[in-house]
Amino acid sequence: MTYQTNMDTYNILRSLQSLSVTICATFFFLFLLFRLYRSRIGSKTPPPPPEAGGAWPLIGHLHLLGGSQPPHVTLGNLADIYGPIFTVRLGVHKTLVVSSYEMVKQCFTVNDKAFASRPKSIAFEIMGYNSSMFGLSPYGSYWRTVRKIATVHVLSAQRIDMLKHVMESEVKEAMKESYSFWLKMKNEGNTERVFTEMKEWFGDIAINVVFRTVMGKRFDGDEEENQRIRKMIRDFFHLSGSFVLSDSLPYLRWLDLDGKQKQMKKTAKELDDFVSVWLDQHKRNKNFGREQDFMDVLLSTVDEDLDGRDADTTIKATCMVCHLLPLSALSVNKILLCLLLGKITLAVY
């Protein structure tokens, strides 16, 4: 009996040994096939762009971009060394840098589909309804669907022509308010010139045009409410363009070392509360026979979930991006105007 048990144990050990050898040989064979496949693929694939030197562990090249020079100057100096196309590491993210017309053309015309998407950002995740704003969302079915809706119902030539009277009336209203203010000062015996701050003047026109186009209502609340909404918009743009440490080092996100996530959540809640009130008003007044604005169009068009996003989230996110992006473009135009003409004031005599 003891002899038989020993033989069984010996046979089991032999079988295990044979199995181990077979497994090792299989893995070695698969490894050789993989190396052979990689070598053939590598021979057909052009070499990757060079990586700039000076990277540090964990943070990559972030320390180079945080110095006294502006980032574009630093990148330009690196381009002089490494050529018109190279890579840098922003934390855990490998980033491609191009600095010539030919390379930009290759990226955005020849290979535009490869560059069509957008990188993930904590700002647009928190303040953009989890990247539901179509101008900031990743390329895909959701982006294509919402972009088509916005293009047809807001940005088409026919729609702009229909809303021409809105733009004209807001400019006339702004001029009328400036004249009324001058007339009031004159009647009170003030003989000095009346100056209008053009930044605020242009901003009010833009906000009213966008509000009436998207939500069908002027931005004519009390002064405290106006300032609160302006602050929300300024905070959104400021936080969207700010450097967030957790974007480059996502494993530190739970610490919120720079406090940006807390600020973003506060701004996101304020914006959501604001646009939710308008959405509820449009739902209540949906069939009152008035002129349709963009939110009405979305309510009649988006009646089901899109790519996992409920209809209300899609409507709010799309209306918000149609509000904010035109105001951003206006800010750029105002900066260019001021650079060309200097500091401008409107004097009413």
Confidence of residue 81 (pLDDT cuts 50, 70, 90): very high
Confidence (pLDDT) at 6: 53
Residue 181, SS3? helix
Q: How many CB atoms lie within 10 A of CB 337?
A: 13
Q: What is the value of pTM for the model shown?
A: 0.72
223, 167, 335, 333: which is closest to 231 by C-alpha?
223
* pLDDT one-digit tens code per residue, 85-94: 999 999 999 9
Contacts 24+ apart (CB under 8 A), 181-189: 181/348, 182/348, 182/349
At residue 309, the 3 state secondary structure works out as strand
Residue 269 confidence (pLDDT) = 94
Distances (CA, A) of 280 to 150, 165, 208, 209, 277: 21, 26, 20, 21, 5
Given a cut of 80, whether residue 288 has pLDDT beyond it is: no
Burial class of 166 by CB neighbour count within 10 A (0 to 12, 13 to 18, 19+): buried
On the question of pLDDT at 42 being above 60, the answer is no
**263 falls in which pLDDT band (50, 70, 90)?**
very high
**Residue 344, pLDDT above cutoff 60:** no
Query: Would you say residue 20 has pLDDT above 70?
Result: no
- Mean pLDDT, residues 104-111: 86
Per-residue model confidence (pLDDT) at position 117: 81
- Write the CB contacts of 175 (distance below 8 Å, at least 6 apart in sequence): none
Which segment of 180-189, 205-214, 285-294 scores lowest on mean pLDDT?
285-294
Query: With 60 as the cut, is the pLDDT of residue 293 above it?
Result: yes
pLDDT of residue 268: 93
Largest Cα–Cα separation, the chain: 124
Confidence of residue 80 (pLDDT cuts 50, 70, 90): very high
Residue 339: pLDDT band (50, 70, 90) is: very low
Between CA 267 and CA 259, with CA 320 as vertex, the angle to 5 degrees is: 20
Instruction: Render pLDDT for 227-252 as a digit per residue (tens, 0 to 9).
Output: 788 788 889 888 988 889 899 899 88
- Exposure string over 97-110, b if 16+ CB within 10 A, otherwise e: bbbeeebeeeeeee
Element (H, E) at 13: helix 2-44
Per residue in 203-231, pLDDT (tens digit) is: 778 778 888 888 777 766 556 777 788 78
Q: For the chain, what percentages of helix, strand and coil (3-state, to nearest 5) are there?
A: 65, 5, 25
The dihedral over CA atoms of 83, 89, 95, 97, expressed in degrees to the nearest 10, equals -20
Element (H, E) at 195: strand 194-197
Q: Which of the residue ranges 34-38, 250-254, 263-267, 290-294 has the most confident prediction, judged by mean pLDDT?
A: 263-267
Q: How far is CA 53 from CA 13, 56, 91, in A?
A: 54, 9, 14
- The rounded mean pLDDT for the chain is 79
Chain Cα centroid distance, residue 62: 21
